[in-house]
Chains A and B, each alone.
Chain A
Amino acid sequence: MHELPVTEDILRIVAAHAQQAGATRVTRINLVIGELTSFIDDSIQFYFEMLSPGTPAEGATLHFTRIKTRFRCRRCAQEFEPEGRNWTCPACGALGGDVIAGKEFYVESIEVT
């Protein structure tokens, strides 16, 4: 449900950048979404198809790059990806770490003609 304001945000950002470049048509929108955010590709796609007609982004392909959660061990600074119930640092055995990736949520680039 909260993908609606998000999609509006995407369209606003895309239109502004397309206009700035003097482009009339956007063919592709590259989004980066961290695994820790609660945003769902299909749902953004759904609202995109509903809201994009009549905008420069009409007909554009949405491309999602998903970023996996990454921890940095607080004891030994090793970086690793937690998997399910395995949050143990592979180097020293400490549990968990500072989240250094997985919270991304941005428009990376657009492709225009």
Chain B
Amino acid sequence: MSKQVTPGRIPVVQKLLTANEQVAADNRDYFAAHNVTVINIMASPGAGKTTLLLATIDALPERRIGVIEGDVASQIDAEKIAETGTPVVQINTGGACHLDASMIRGALPALPLDDLEVVFVENVGNLICPVSFDLGQSYNVGLISLPEGDDKPYKYPGIFEAVDLVIVTKADLRPYLDFDLDRFTELVHGLNPDAPVLCLSAKTGEGLRDWLHWLEERLG
């Protein structure tokens, strides 16, 4: 005998993606237990994520850095990082437009976490999707390159609201472009008054010091 069911509406009010959030919380505990600061870097394809990581590794030889590279396909970015002697693991998402917490968990055994103090995660190039997937990171950093234009906060508010720091990259191209840095900063702060906005060039080194300073403050 099956129990009588009254047809009707059942309130649920249950958040989606809690499975990812649970794994992210586990990752966060795991990183904390290893004393590792994790920095999730989000940006469009080609914004300069890998180039900034290479410049950072070069500038901080005494820091024990590891890298997780997320790409839809290929090992190209991981190979560039590996050439510096930095421990790196490549995740290929096989089509997915973002990294998620279980991909990070799967990559961890490939990193010598006991020997590291900071892990940079280069998320898949995309301004929208990565924002919805917590990885267990300590900080979110959003990069935007000058050629992308200063109106991006209007179009992609989610990422600018979610980050702890905004880096405008390719500062050396400023003479050729009409990117209004003051206007951009005003928009970012309209959404997120706590996120500093830095402008730097990983090519010339201009402004790199401010980023390294932000980073060193968080690594202690």
Contact surface of A with B, Cβ cutoff 8 Å: 1-2, 5-6, 9-10, 13-14, 17-18, 21-24, 36-39, 69, 74, 82, 84-85, 87, 95-97, 99, 105-113
The B interface, classified by DSSP as helix, strand, loop or mixed, is mixed
Contact surface of B with A, Cβ cutoff 8 Å: 2-5, 7-20, 95-98, 100, 128-129, 131-133, 151, 154, 157-158, 161, 186-187, 189-191, 193
Given A110-B9, A110-B12, A5-B100 contact (CB < 8 Å): yes
> Does B9 contact A1, Cβ atoms closer than 8 Å?
no
Which residues from A are CB-within-8-Å of B128? 38
What's the least CB distance linking B206 to chain A, in Å? 28
> Does A85 contact B8, Cβ atoms closer than 8 Å?
no
Given A2-B133, A6-B16, A38-B129, A110-B154 contact (CB < 8 Å): no
Given A84-B154, A96-B187, A37-B132 contact (CB < 8 Å): yes
What's the least CB distance linking A95 to chain B, in Å? 4
Which residues from B are CB-within-8-Å of A36? 157-158, 161
Given A2-B129, A5-B19, A21-B5, A108-B13 contact (CB < 8 Å): yes
What's the least CB distance linking A66 to chain B, in Å? 15
> Does B132 contact A112, Cβ atoms closer than 8 Å?
no
A21 to B20, CA, bound (A): 26
Which residues from B are CB-within-8-Å of A97? 190
Given A36-B161, A95-B190, A113-B5 contact (CB < 8 Å): yes
Nearest 4 CB-CB pairings of A with B:
A96-B190, A95-B190, A113-B7, A22-B3
Given A2-B98, A95-B187, A85-B16 contact (CB < 8 Å): no
> Does A85 contact B154, Cβ atoms closer than 8 Å?
yes
What's the least CB distance linking B188 to chain A, in Å? 9
Residue from A74, A87, A108, A109 within 8 A of B187 (CB atoms)? A87
> Does A1 contact B96, Cβ atoms closer than 8 Å?
yes
